[in-house]
Structure 1
Amino acid sequence: MATQQARTSDLKLFNAFIDLLNDGKQLDTISTRHLIAQAGISKSTFYRHYADKFAFYNWVADYLLSQLQETVQEAQTPLIFYRRYFEKCQAYRQAYKSFIVDQHWLGFEQRLLEEGMTNYTAILGKINQPDIPVTNIASYIVAAHVGMALNWLRTDGTSTPDELANQLTRLTTGALAAFNINFANLFQLK
């Protein structure tokens, strides 16, 4: 997925959306009127780009996924990647909770898994791994990092992104070492 481009009005709406969620509003109760007022944009600006709040939520899902995609493109090591991944989850915690944990946007978690599979399958496809199919390895890694993020979001865990990144890097490095795969070297193959 390419990085999602955002107009100024999109970012105002996005920040308003995050603020409303952080203020305790539930996704189901946020109206278009709330979004427009909080963002300080005109009704016509909103409707020029979005048919309704659900079309805007689709854009938000794309934007959140593109933000995670940037972490993949920029990271040189698993630790850096996972730290940035958890920092993004922390920065937009309420949006992720609404979209994934509270299951308001059912396709979001599936899209997150698919993006991860695409990335890791491409990276792992560059190594010779006769013992286990590349898609199984990719599935394992993606399920692990999405699973840790979901647990952290569900439980309102107090671990920091650094702590989670260290834990996930250690767990994944150990598991892949059993198949003679150097996890850190995979990030050099991008």
Structure 2
Amino acid sequence: MSVPEARTSDLKLFHAFINLLNDGESLDKISTRYLLTQAGVSKSTFYRHYADKFAFYDWVADYLLNQLQDTDYSAATPLSFYKRYFEKCQTYRLAYKSFIVNNHWLEFERRLLDDGMANYTAILSRINQPDVPVTTIASYVVSAHVGMAINWLQTDDPSTPDELAEQLTRLTTGALAAYHIDFAGLFKLK
């Protein structure tokens, strides 16, 4: 996914938005005027780039998805990849929770699944085993990963990104072993 370079005003709005969520504001209750005041961004600047707060929220969704996709899959081990994944989720936990858990943008979860499918299909396609159902395995793995992240957000599970990464690595390693796939080896294939 390609998100245009964030302008200074976008980042000010984004950080104000995150701070409002961290302060307990509900996504539905944040007015454009209040967001602009908190961000120190003028009304004209905001409306030059966004039709309304929902257009800004769409940009936030793109930005958050881009944060999760901004990882070098080929250079990571499964454990380090998942650790970074959950650290990114932790950094903007309330924003992800607002988008996913509160069902404000059901498309956000679908896009997260689609992006994950594209990445895992590419990773699994690196192996040369014709009897391996790549898209089925990718679907299973990605659904499990997104499901685990959503559960973590929904339940306010106190597990750390390190603990979650360890659990997810063990579960995924076991699932892939059923097809004689060395999970750690996948990350080393070019």
Q: TM-score, normalised by structure 2?
A: 0.95
How many residues are matched? Answer: 190
Partners of 1:97 and 1:154 within 8 A in 2: yes
Counterpart Cα distance in 1 of 2:172 and 2:3: 26
Change (3 A) 1:73 1:32: farther
CA contact (8 A) 1:4 1:66 kept: no
Matching residue of 1:55: 55
1:60-91 per-residue CA deviation (whole Å, 9 max, x = no partner) reads 00000110011244751111111111111111
For 2:91 and 2:73, locate their aligned partners in 1 and report how far apart those are by CA, in whole Å: 19
Instruction: Quote how far apart the aligned CAs of 1:189 are.
Output: 2.9
The Cα offsets for residues 2-40 of structure 1, whole Å up to 9 and x where unpaired, read as 355211111110000101111111111111111101111
Partner of 1:71, secondary structure, is coil
Contact 2:124–2:138 (8 Å) recurs in 1: yes
Q: Structure 1 residues 104 and 87 mapped into 2: Cα distance closer, same or farther (>3 Å)?
A: same
1:11 aligns with 2:3: no
**Structure 1 Cα separation of the partners of residues 70 and 113 of structure 2:** 16
The alignment-based identity, stated in percent, is 75
CA deviation map 1:148-177 (0-9, x unaligned): 101110100000000000010011011111
Measured in 2, the distance between the counterparts of 1:106 and 1:171 equals: 26
Are the aligned partners of 2:67 and 2:88 in contact in 1 as well (CA < 8 Å)?
A: yes
Equivalent position of 2:130 in the other structure: 130
Amino acid paired to 1:130: P
- Cα separation, 1, equivalents of 2:167 and 2:46: 42
Which AA in structure 1 matches 2:102? D
Structure 2 vs 1, CA of residues 3 and 130 (structure 1 numbering), >3 Å: closer, same or farther? same
Gaps of 5+ in 2: none
Question: Shift of the alpha carbon at 1:106?
Answer: 1.3
Residue matched to 2:155: 155
1:42-68, CA deviations, whole angstroms, 9 ceiling, x for partnerless residues? 111111111100110110000001100
> What SS does the aligned partner of 2:70 have?
helix
Letter in 1 for 2:136: N
Structure-2 residue corresponding to 1:29: 29
Structure 2 residue aligned with 1:81: 81
CA contact (8 A) 1:18 1:94 kept: yes
Q: How well do the aligned residues superpose, as a CA RMSD in angstroms?
A: 1.4
TM-score (norm 1): 0.95
* Equivalent residues of 2:74, 2:187 under 8 A apart: no
User: Structure 2: how far apart are the matches of 1:18 and 1:119?
Assistant: 27
- 64-73 vs 106-115, greater mean Cα deviation: 64-73
Q: Secondary structure at the match of 1:79?
A: helix
Relative to structure 1, is the Cα distance of residues 139 and 72 closer, same or farther in structure 2, using a 3 angstrom cutoff?
A: farther
Change (3 A) 1:75 1:98: farther
* Structure 1 consecutive aligned stretches of length 4 or more whose deviation exceeds 6 Å: none
Specify every segment of 5 or more residues in structure 1 that has no aligned partner in the other structure, as ranges: none
Q: 1:71 to 1:19 in 2, by over 3 A?
A: same
